[in-house]
Amino acid sequence: MENKKLQNMMILNGKDIGISRIKLDKSDLLIFDKSGTYCFQVCVYYSWKEINKAKIGEKEKIDFNEYILHENEEPALIWPTEFYIEKTSDGALYFYFKFENMSKMATYMNARGAFDITLNSFEARAYIDYKDAVNGSIIYEF
């Protein structure tokens, strides 16, 4: 992954929170932060046909079914302001998601209706290479 733009990253409220793990299977893309506090989940199950139709080198906007940010395993539904996938080769995908003005758009699915922090912005990038698949999943540990 020489191209700097393809580097994996997770930024919450302008702060790089790092990535400890990325997992892609037929149902979800999951990106876990370094501290183990946050997990970003994208439901990809219904979009594989669109993902597979993407042309190499072109950014494709694909609306996924759900985007969920978890804090300490408590979820909030969020909606991206910018998103795309890019097929970088026949066997590699780049996912990009950006969320802004989240305090107005997040739907918390916990009893207190909030997270420990105020959500303002979130950004995630994940580079996936199909050659790394094992038993139907791709898992990267960092």
The pLDDT value recorded for residue 5 is 54
Query: For 6-16, what is the mean pLDDT?
Result: 93
The pLDDT value recorded for residue 35 is 97
Q: How far is CA 8 from CA 21, 71, 86, 106, 116, in A?
A: 10, 20, 14, 24, 25
Q: Band the pLDDT of 54: cuts 50, 70, 90.
A: very high
Query: For 104-116, what is the mean pLDDT?
Result: 92
Query: For 45-67, what is the mean pLDDT?
Result: 95
Counting Cα atoms < 13 Å in the Cβ hemisphere of 10 gives 21
Q: How far does the chain reach from its first CA to its final CA, in angstroms?
A: 14
**Assigned token pair, 59:** 């950014």
Contact predicate 141/20, CB 8 Å:
yes
Phi, psi (deg, nearest 5) at residue 79 = -130, 130
Share of the chain above pLDDT 70, in %: 96
The pLDDT value recorded for residue 2 is 44
In the predicted model, is pLDDT for residue 139 greater than 90? yes
The pLDDT value recorded for residue 3 is 53
Query: For 114-132, what is the mean pLDDT?
Result: 96
Q: Band the pLDDT of 10: cuts 50, 70, 90.
A: very high
Lowest mean pLDDT among 1-15, 27-41, 50-64, 112-126: 1-15
Compute, in degrees rounded to 10, the torsion defined by CA atoms 124, 66, 86, 73: 30
Round to whole Å and give the CA distance between 35 and 37.
5
